[in-house]
Each structure stands twice: as C-alpha cells, then as structure tokens.
Amino acid sequence: MATGSITVAQTPLVLYVLRRADDALILGHRLSEWCGRAPMMEEEMALANMGLDLIGQARSLYTYAGEVEAAGHDEDAYAYRRDVRGYGNLLLVEQPNGDFARTMARQFLYSVYIDLYWRAMMASSDATLAAIAAKAEKESAYHVRHCAEWLVRLGDGTPESHRRMQAAIDDLWAFTGEMFEVDEAERELIAAGIAVDPETLRAAWTAQVDEVLATATLAKPAAAWMQKGGRSGRHSEHLGHLLSDLQYMQRAYPGATW
Amino acid sequence: MSNPAIPLWEVFIRSRNGLAHKHVGSLHAPDATMALQAARDLYTRRGEGLSLWVVPSNAITASDPADKDMMFEPTASKIYRHPTFYEVPDEVGHM
C-alpha cells in the first residue's frame, strides 16, 4: 500500500496544471469551512455551491496532471499526499476565511482574475485545458457576479459593514500581485500557446476591480509591496494547518476508502 | 429570520420552454438582485429550470383560509362546468 508523500515530476506542464488545481482545491476547501457557519441559509448554499464548483475544477485539473505526468498519480494522490512545499497555489487563496466580508473580498479578487483567465484559456492550444476552461468559465462568471454584489452591499452598507469590507480589501491587497507572476517554466508554455500570459489580463482585472470598488464606495489600496512565493511552494503559515485538516484521514490511514 | 432588512421572497421556476413558472418555495434576501441569486443557489442545484422569478412575499394578496367554504365550496355542486358533463354527438367527430 502506498504511504507517505509522493514525488512529482517537475515538468513545466505538470507543474502548471498542478498550480491551477491547487488554487481551486485550496479555495474550495476554504469555502467548505463555512459549512454550518454562514450568516444565513441562502449564503450557506451559495458558499457551498462555489466551493463545489472549485473542487470540481480541481478534480479535472488533477486528473489531467496525472495523465501528463504518467506516473500513476490520481487526483487523490495529488490532493492528499503532497506536503506544503509541494503545493503551488496562490497565497491569496490559502488566507483564512476571517469574517464574511473577508471571504467575499478574497473570492472577488480571485474570481475576477480567474474568470478572465479561463476565458483566455478557452483558446489554449492544449485541447484538454481549453475544454476545462470552457466549463470553468461559466462557473467563475457567476462567482464574480455574486461576490461583486456583496462587495457593493457591504461596502456601501452600514458604517460597520463598510469598515469590515475596507479592512478585508486592504489586508488582502498584497496578495493580488502574485496572480500576474510568471516563471521560466510558464514562459515556455506561454510561447507554445498552451498557457496564457497573465500580464495580458492585468488591465481588464484592474478595470473590473476598480469599477466594483468605486460602486461599493471602497478605497483602492495604494500600490504597495506584493507578497509572493506560493507558486514555488513558499507559503504562509496558514496552508500547513489547512492541509493537516484536509489530509488527516489519508495520512493517518493511508489508502483508506469508505 | 424576521429581520425586516432581509425580507421574504417567493420563488417561481419555469422548468422548460412552453411551461408556466411554478411556485417552488421562498427565501430571504435583502433585495431583488440578491433574491434572484439566492433562488439560483437554493432552487436550481439539480438542473430544475431555465427561468426564475422572485416576487416579494408581501406583494402577494392571499385568500383567507377562513373564507374557504364561501370561496370554494359553491363550485362543488356545479358539475356542468366540467366538459365531461356533456355528451358530444357522434356527428361532431373528434374534438
């Protein structure tokens, strides 16, 4: 029986697909932490729906990574048997839920980016990634809409809701720069038409975020130093705790099924 | 859930083209836009519909259950209002 952590082949395409899968899994897991804790039933369902969309995307991507790597790793192996340093998700998505405003702010900043990303990826020269993108884009488009409505209602709501939403945007802002980062391996894939250069998404992301912030009467944080490191496995302290929760069963009882 | 800032809405779904919207339940939402999103999240998780309506519950004027007899009982004896009450002559053919 397989035990312990797996070693993943560090080829550009495997790494690239795993990083996107990790984004979706970790953010989906964060949303699942709201189960039974949402402020109202309607939002409980909305959060769970978004989480399930993301976990579905993660499964498709992990499965594809497994095909590309061809080392016998399935989606569970990638999710449950890699350590913190093996995860390549954005630091943004591993940040704790905080209050409802913070969860919505995190989801909004990511969703605007990933919706633009999936839309562009529909033209990828990699047929599988293009197909995953076409399905995921419909889901992320709804996430953008839902979160934007909440940003406006909380930002332009009561003094208390405004204060909380502004604090959330301010605190998370330093994690947005990483979304537009590219390393050598990714540059290769961009040149091959497989990946999208995130820099080409920046103008649209900025315009969309600016518009919602303005409508929500929220101040855009000043451009400051940006956090990075998630893509290369250097994470905040939060991811280890998340993974200990996510991976506990498979780590304690390797290969367990029920 | 009696927060006046978060009123009640009634949800109607049209499941297929050509059918009418049908009442499926209710939910709480601060305004119409959020009610529509909540309706999508709560009531269309399993491919139930192609179109959604949300209506403020307080916009619905309902009959009083206490008036049930006065309102509906008198029709019980008027069986001639049903088409099956009439015999159609053979010469009419298929209707």
Residue B25: strand pairing partners: B11
And the tokens for A217? 């009467």
Range of the domain at A223: 12-252
CATH number at residue A182: 1.20.1260.10
Task: Please list every residue in chain A whose beta carbon sits closer than 8 Å to the beta carbon of residue B38.
Answer: 42-43, 45-46
Q: Does A222 touch chain B (CB under 8 A)?
A: no
Burial tier of A141 (Cβ tally within 10 Å: 0-12, 13-18, 19+) = middle
* Per-residue confidence (pLDDT) for residue A29, from 0 to 100: 98
A37 part of a folded domain: yes
Number of domains in chain A: 1
> Quick one: DSSP state of residue B54?
E
User: What pLDDT is recorded for position A1?
Assistant: 46
Tens digits of per-residue pLDDT, B28-65? Answer: 999 999 999 999 999 999 999 999 999 999 999 999 99
Among all residues of chain A, which has the CA nearest to that of B9? A42
User: Which of A31, A34, A42, A149 should one mutate to test binding to chain B, selecting the residue with the greatest count of B CBs within 10 A?
Assistant: A42
Asked if A108 and A147 touch (Cβ cutoff 8 Å), the reply is: yes
Q: Verify whether the Cβ–Cβ distance A42 to B28 is below 8 Å.
A: yes
Contact yes or no for B11/B28 (Cβ under 8 A): no
Which parts of chain A sit beneath pLDDT 50?
1
Helix (H) or strand (E) holding B53: strand B51-56
Q: Is A250:A81 a contact under the CB 8 Å cutoff?
A: yes
Residue A258 inside a domain? The answer is no
Kindly state whether residue A71 falls inside one of the protein's structural domains: yes
Task: Say what the ipTM of the complex is.
Answer: 0.83
Residues of A in contact with B41 (CB under 8 A): 42, 45-46, 49
| Domain assignment present for A193 | yes
Q: Is A143 on the interface with B (CB under 8 A)?
A: no
A39 contacts A153 by C-beta, under 8 angstroms = no
Instruction: Tell me the β-bridge partners of B22.
Output: B13
- Which band of pLDDT confidence, cut at 50, 70 and 90, is reported for residue B2? low
Task: Classify residue A2: in a domain, yes or no.
Answer: no
pLDDT given at position A224: 83
Q: Give pLDDT tens digits for A40-69.
A: 999 999 999 999 999 999 999 999 999 999
- Maximal CA-CA distance, chain B: 65
In a domain, A6, yes or no: no
Q: Is residue A104 situated within a structural domain?
A: yes
pTM of the model: 0.91
Long-range contacts of A61-66 (CB under 8 A, 24+ apart): A61/A17, A61/A18, A61/A20, A61/A21, A61/A24, A61/A132, A62/A17, A62/A18, A62/A21, A62/A25, A64/A17, A64/A128, A64/A129, A64/A132, A65/A14, A65/A17, A65/A18, A65/A21
Name the minimum distance, in Å, from the CA of A212 to any CA of chain B.
Answer: 16
Please give the residue that has the higher pLDDT: either B91 or A128. A128
**Angle, helices A202-215/A100-121, rounded to nearest 10 degrees:** 150
